[in-house]
C-alpha cells in the first residue's frame, strides 16, 4: 500500500485547483469582437480627393431637388514628387489667378502627421479656389527643397506667380498653425 504524506496530498490538491483556475477564460462580451476573425472584404479603403463625410454617412449624394450642395468635409492634399509636378501646379495656379498652398512634411515628423488632417479640413474651406499640395522632403530631390527654402518641418507656404509669398513654420500647437495659415491665405486673396 502506497503511503503519501499529508503535505504531498495537500500540494497535489492545490495544483489541481490551480490548474482549473488558470484555464483560459473567454473574453468578456464587450471585448468578444477582438477574438473573432475579420469577415472577408472587411477592409476599409477611402477614395482619394474630395470627401463628403456628411453625405456619405447619410447615404445621399446631395443631388436631390431643393437640397443645398454642401462643400467637402476634407480635401486630400495632392502629393508633389518632382520639380515638374511643382511647376505644373504653379502654372495651373497662375492661369487660375489663385495661390496654392504647399505643406512640406517628413514621414518621421510627428507634428507633420498631426497637422496634415487639420490642413485637409482647411483645404475644404477654400476648395476649389485655392488648391493645397503636400511635399514629402524625403521623397523629392534636395534641389526642390532648396528651391523652396525649406529648413524646418512642417512648413506651410503660399505660392503665387511662381514665387513663394508666405511661410508658416508649424512647430507649435496645430490650431495656432491653422490660424496662421488662414491669415496668410487671406492676405494673398
Q: Could you give the residue numbers annotated as active site?
A: 109, 112
Q: How many residues does the chain have?
A: 189
Q: Which residues of 112-144 are buried (b: 16+ CB within 10 A; e: fewer)?
A: beebbebbbebbbebeeebbbbbbbbeebeeeb
Scan for cell 498631426, then name that residue: 114
Scan for cell 508666405, then name that residue: 166
DSSP label of 69: -
Output Rg (C-alpha) for the chain, integer angstroms. 28
Helix boundaries (H) for 30-162:
53-58, 83-96, 110-126, 142-148
Q: Which three cell numbers stand for residue 62?
A: 446631395
> Taking Cα atoms as reference points, which of 139, 75, 130, 132 lies closest to residue 102?
132
Amino acid at each position: 500500500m502506497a503511503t503519501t504524506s499529508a503535505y504531498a496530498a495537500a500540494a497535489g490538491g492545490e495544483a489541481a485547483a490551480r490548474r482549473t483556475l488558470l484555464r483560459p477564460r473567454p473574453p468578456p462580451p464587450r471585448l468578444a469582437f477582438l477574438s473573432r476573425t475579420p469577415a472577408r472584404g472587411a477592409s476599409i479603403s477611402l477614395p482619394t480627393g474630395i470627401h463628403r463625410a456628411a453625405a456619405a454617412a447619410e447615404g445621399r449624394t446631395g443631388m436631390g431637388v431643393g437640397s443645398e450642395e454642401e462643400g467637402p468635409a476634407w480635401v486630400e492634399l495632392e502629393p508633389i514628387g518632382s520639380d515638374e509636378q511643382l511647376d505644373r501646379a504653379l502654372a495651373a495656379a497662375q492661369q487660375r489667378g489663385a495661390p496654392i498652398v504647399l505643406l512640406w512634411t517628413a514621414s518621421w515628423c510627428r507634428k507633420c502627421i498631426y497637422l496634415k488632417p487639420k490642413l485637409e479640413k482647411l483645404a475644404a474651406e477654400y476648395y476649389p479656389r485655392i488648391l493645397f499640395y503636400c511635399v514629402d522632403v524625403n521623397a523629392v530631390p534636395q534641389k526642390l527643397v532648396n528651391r523652396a527654402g525649406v529648413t524646418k518641418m512642417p512648413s506651410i507656404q503660399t505660392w503665387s506667380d511662381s514665387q513663394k509669398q508666405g511661410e508658416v513654420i508649424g512647430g507649435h500647437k496645430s490650431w495656432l498653425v491653422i490660424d496662421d495659415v488662414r491669415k496668410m491665405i487671406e492676405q494673398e486673396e
